Amino acid sequence: MTDTFKALILEHTPDGPRAAIRPLKLDDLPAGEVLLRVHYSGLNYKDGMILQGQGNLVRDYPHVPGIDLAGTVLESADPRYRAGDPVVLTGYRVGETHWGGYAERARVQADWLVPLPAGYNARQAMAAGTAGFTAMLAIQALEDHGLQPDAGAILVTGASGGVGSIAVRLLAHLGYTVTAVTGRAENADYLHRLGASTILPRADLAEVPNKPLLRERWAGCVDTVGGDMLTHVLAGMGYGGSVAACGLAGGAQLKTTVLPFLLRGINLLGIDSVMCPTERRLATWKRLAALLPGHDLEAMTTEIGLDDLPHYGKQILAGRIRGRTVVCVGKQVSPEPGDNGTN
């Protein structure tokens, strides 16, 4: 086993974190029970924040970011995993408080891992990644609160992003009528291909409404945006409907009243993918892989290399990334002109 490997390292500077690709040794890795060869990671909104030093998510530098990964076990002190086992890791603040997936090697706790879901290879698992896992959790929460395909239109905000794109596709597969919200009109055809029936411009829902209750429009919602858009969505929910809130690209503040909850009996459901219990995590991955096969993910996936991450980290925060971005950790890959990364 080679003693050195390549990693994207964040160093603290007075102007914020600075990223560089550098060689590391196995002894540089933090403590953990399982040593992994990392094949793929993903680019998520939180990764963009970390790369830009936003949100105070990383406290200690130097740091290896990357909040999810798919790889192969090299060594394990835990009997649940043996050398050669393919595994996936999302959550547990890996990439924030513990070194993450933007390196060819990672050392992690065994409790943080799940076996590679049946039907996925490492690249496909990261094409789904944290975004797909979160989208599946959100839809299951809506179903747990009574949502069924015949209930009416289901809204997906931030639909062109990673969580939104996968949510649209999953809901369409399950037979729901999907209304997709996007700020980029050029993505309308893309969202229709994923299964959206109706496209709403982001501007239609971007501001806090002047009334606490609006016309009842949606039976459910997967909200990836938060902020003023979530306020607008809550005012327009149908009686007994539910909103699964799983993002804050539009802000963490929520300006609303109790009236939608008291007069229409709606539910605001918080979705946390980071500390999701293992039993639910395994069941969610199994269902996600069954509903969203690898070939379905190709139309929404761009592949990049470690050297592309500083640029793409800025793009995802600016809302210019469509669908999912996977990071091929073992080599540097620049996307072909015209792919779906920043179109």
Contact status, residue 59 vs residue 117, Cβ threshold 8 Å: no
Q: Which two tokens stand for residue 293?
A: 């096969």
Instruction: For residue 237, list its beta bridge partners.
Output: 218
Q: How many residues does the chain have?
A: 343
Chain mean position to CA 51? 16
The pLDDT score that the predictor gives to residue 46 is 97
- 71/61 Cα distance (integer angstroms): 24
Chain mean position to CA 63? 21
Q: List, in order, residues 6 or more apart from 145 with CB less than 8 Å away.
A: 242, 267, 269
The pLDDT score that the predictor gives to residue 1 is 53
- 128/120 Cα distance (integer angstroms): 9
- 155/123 Cα distance (integer angstroms): 29
The pLDDT score that the predictor gives to residue 334 is 42
- 13/97 Cα distance (integer angstroms): 18
Q: Which of 240, 204, 206, 203 is nearest to 225 (CA)?
A: 206
The pLDDT score that the predictor gives to residue 120 is 97
The pLDDT score that the predictor gives to residue 117 is 98
Q: List, in order, residues 6 or more apart from 67 with CB less than 8 Å away.
A: 42, 44, 46, 47, 50, 90, 91, 94, 95, 96, 100, 101, 130
The pLDDT score that the predictor gives to residue 8 is 98
Instruction: For residue 301, list its beta bridge partners.
Output: 324
- 285/263 Cα distance (integer angstroms): 36
The pLDDT score that the predictor gives to residue 336 is 39
The pLDDT score that the predictor gives to residue 332 is 44
pLDDT along the chain (343 residues), means of 10: 87 93 97 98 97 94 98 98 98 98 98 98 98 98 97 97 98 98 96 98 96 97 98 98 96 96 98 97 98 94 97 96 95 42 42
The pLDDT score that the predictor gives to residue 3 is 78
Domains, in order of start, for the chain: 4-116+294-328 (3.90.180.10), 130-270 (3.40.50.720)
- 39/331 Cα distance (integer angstroms): 9
Instruction: For residue 302, list its beta bridge partners.
Output: 325
Q: Which residue has the tokens 């290879």?
A: 121
Instruction: For residue 251, list its beta bridge partners.
Output: none
Residue by residue, what is the 3-state secondary structure of the chain? Answer: CCCEEEEEEEECCCCCCEEEEEEEEHHHCCCCCEEEEEEEEEECHHHHHHHCCCCCCCCCCCECCCCEEEEEEEEECCCCCCCCCEEEEECCCECCCECCCCECEEEECHHHEEECCCCCCHHHHHHHHHHHHHHHHHHHHHHHCCCCHHHCEEEECCCCCHHHHHHHHHHHHCCCEEEEEECCHHHHHHHHHHCCCEEEEHHHCCCCCCCCCCCCCEEEEEECCCHHHHHHHHHCEEEEEEEEECCCCCCCCCCCCCHHHHHHCCEEEECCCCCCCHHHHHHHHHHHHHHCCHHHHHHHEEEEEHHHHHHHHHHHHCCCCCCEEEEECCCCCCCCCCCCCCC
Contact status, residue 269 vs residue 142, Cβ threshold 8 Å: yes
For 23, list phi and psi in degrees, rounded to 5: -80, 145
- 211/214 Cα distance (integer angstroms): 7
Q: Which residue has the tokens 């513990």?
A: 98
